A and B are shown apart, each in its own frame.
Chain A
Amino acid sequence: MLSINNLKASIEGKAILNGINLDIKPGEVHAIMGPNGAGKSTLSSVLAGRSDYEVNDGSALFMGKDLLALSPEDRAREGLFLAFQYPVEIPGVSSTNFLKTAINEKRKYLGLDPMEATDFLKFMKLKMEEMEMDKSLTSRSLNEGFSGGEKKRNEVFQMAMLEPKLCIMDETDSGLDIDALRLVSAGVNKLRTPERSFLVITHYQRLLDYIVPDFVHVLYKGRIVKSGDASLAKELEVKGYDWIKQEVESAK
């Protein structure tokens, strides 16, 4: 699915990622954890193609294609989805209109005819029921006036609509209370399939109580310094990040 090899990236000349190696296979859920400033959000931004970041070295293959050579929109159309940490508001644009545009742009890219309006609405209704979304969502402007929890649920709903192959979740748990966290996680779990992969980026372990990962990686100073299974997250919960930092420093 995704194969990252020695990825190095910087912003304004400052190196943030210093050689990331990561393999994600279909259906796997990988969690990236790490202290503040480790480069977690940078990794998601670089993979999604945000232009503020410069890729200095390394490669990333997505479904066999050179991900880094694709424009951000083409990465999305190929099936890469980023659930934003801070979803932006777009006043006056309804979720319906936004998603219809997004789906039809993707279809165009894949050489398919645009979805008919009625088919689209049926599809959206179905997904809304599935994801237990409030009906008012369709007519509300995108993220405008949404609470933190609503924004994150809406990200997951968009994920359901766009049916991506790989979902990157950038600190989806930030700013959520425990109820909202449960709701969002339940949504994500509904979208888990044997084909779809997830890269869950989080600072805290609690999200991983709900979205149980197959692999946990610890990012520190732009490198993955430790990998393990879900139990590694539990260990971090108890011991914090300091012991890993020490391990890294003493290994030098």
Chain B
Amino acid sequence: MSEPEIGIIDQVVSQEYKYGFSTDIEMETAPIGLSEDTVRFISAKKNEPEWLLEWRLKAYRNWLKMEAPTWQNFSYPKVDYQKVIFYAAPKQKITLDSLDQVDPELLKTFEKLGISLLEQKRLTGVAVDAVFDSVSIATTFKEQLKEKGVIFCAISEAVHEHPELIKKYLGSVVPATDNYYAALNSAVFSDGSFVYIPKGVRCPMELSTYFRINAENTGQFERTLIIADDESYVSYLEGCTAPMRDENQLHAAVVELVAMEKAEIKYSTVQNWYPGDKDGKGGIYNFVTKRGSCEGAFSKISWTQVETGSAITWKYPSCILKGDNSAAEFFSVAVTNNRQVADTGTKMIHIGKNTKSRIVSKGISAGFSQNSYRGLVKINKNASMARNYTQCDSMLIGDKCGAHTFPYIEVNNNTATLEHEASTSKIGEDQIFYCNQRGIALEEAISLIVNGFCKEVLNQLPMEFAVEAQKLLAVSLEGSVG
């Protein structure tokens, strides 16, 4: 009975300290534990309207009746929600003077990740943060977006500025009662992004949390809602490259996408949360519910994810293909090492006629890690001529890790066409030696082989974003960082 309990998010403050942030940060926190009062506290902090508080409370009451799911292919310590602080926000922004004040280990990690110096400074909260605060960049983009009528703001802001949209769409794709963690999120979500693309508008730039002020200070229960109205297009990139501040946290985010007629949403994630140390101590539990609804005819939703971090990744970015002729894609790379676990995949629910979905999943396991693909393709009775193509490939590095595939298929219409391909490969010693013999050492050889293996998925990532972001930082920060 002595199941280990872990106090997730013991103290955000102490975590900051642990990573060498020597500045004392004054935090504003909710009382420890979870109760109706906690929900009320969070809602009050955000000056939310009564209906939203009620919505949260309803979710909370439902959550109380729910049990944590147990069907996953891994075990994890029971979470004691009475030891969690559900709301913690710094009263003032963390600002360090230079990278010298940052844990050198952390900097080494960044270097390995290939994150530029400026980016490093931004991620560790050095001075650059201030620049991000200081309007100039933000306004440039906001102006440009405003011209097109695109709304891109914090969801807490949208609650006040665009209540009609929030009321209509919040919980419309992932209902508050959808699952245990979605219910929890609905009760206590702290903040997140809101995007609305008006009819006929092609969003002129990649939208990303990078461009939003204070994005990294939003809590562990993020809530994102993206609505693409008729004939609009948006590409959204979620970057979780900050390994610090997050040790031993439960991330239970919810992302909802709504694509109207002929609209297209491309949602890309690069997740690199802290994975814990090599013995599996610490790390993020990333239990996320992501779902998109292809509401309108000829709409399209495309998920691309690169999952490299977190102690446990447990998520299935899914699509409901309601509109006739709608299309959905899921491209995934999940890399696990050491004691990491990933149980990830997608659900494609075909409802409309002539709907098509495509799944390309690449799992790479190394060390003692476990990597599972779990996917559901469901063809409903009326989804005539639906098509799905699924490809899931696993690669093993070493012989202590595991790769698992759980494909579920439910077909209720005999005009459907489904294809499934799966493969498992090992990085062979022959491949490594071949690389060695051309002058390429082990680490570089593995990276080369793995990159080749994931190429199909990596090609889906918006490159412009990376270039844009770099340019943006370089130009805007010129002279401001010593």
Contact = CB atoms under 8 A, between A and B. Distances in A.
Interface of A: 48-51, 71-73, 75-77, 81-82, 84, 87-88, 90-93, 97-99, 101-103, 105-106, 109, 141-142, 158, 162
B452 interface: yes
A88 B431 contact: yes
A93 B448 CA distance: 7
- Which 6 A-B pairs have CB atoms at the shortest separation, nearest pair first? A92-B452, A93-B452, A72-B436, A76-B439, A92-B455, A102-B438
Contacts of A81: 437
Contacts of B215: none
Contact of A162 (B434, B438, B453): B438
Nearest to B431: A88
11 contacts: A71-B441, A73-B440, A76-B438, A84-B437, A88-B430, A92-B451, A93-B451, A98-B438, A102-B438, A105-B441, A162-B438
Contacts of A141: 452
B441 A73 contact: yes
B294 interface: no
Nearest to A103: B439
Nearest to B450: A92
Contacts of B435: 90, 102
Given A50-B433, A87-B434, A88-B430, A102 B451 contact: no
A48 B437 contact: yes
Interface residues of B, number: 21
Give the most central of A48, A71, A90: most B CB within 10 Å. A90
B437 A76 contact: yes
B434 A73 contact: no
Contacts of B453: 91-92
B452 A73 contact: no
A99 B438 CA distance: 8
Given A88-B431, A90-B431, A93-B452, A49 B436 contact: yes
B306 to A, nearest CB: 15
A36 B194 CA distance: 70
B454 interface: yes
Contact of A101 (B433, B444, B456): B444
Interface majority SS (helix, strand, loop, mixed), chain B: helix
B428 interface: yes
A92 B436 CA distance: 18
Interface in B404-452: 428, 430-431, 433-441, 444, 448-449, 451-452
Given A73-B436, A158-B438, A105 B451 contact: no
A10 to B, nearest CB: 18
A99 B452 CA distance: 14
A72 B445 CA distance: 13
Nearest to A75: B437
A82 B438 CA distance: 8
Nearest to A106: B439
A72 B444 CA distance: 14
Given A90-B431, A90-B448, A162-B439, 20 more contacts: A51-B433, A72-B433, A72-B436, A73-B441, A76-B437, A84-B434, A84-B437, A88-B430, A88-B434, A90-B434, A90-B449, A92-B453, A92-B455, A93-B448, A93-B449, A93-B452, A98-B438, A101-B440, A102-B435, A142-B452
B439 A105 contact: yes
Contacts of A102: 435, 438-440
Nearest to A72: B436
Give the most central of A81, A92, A106, A142: most B CB within 10 Å. A92
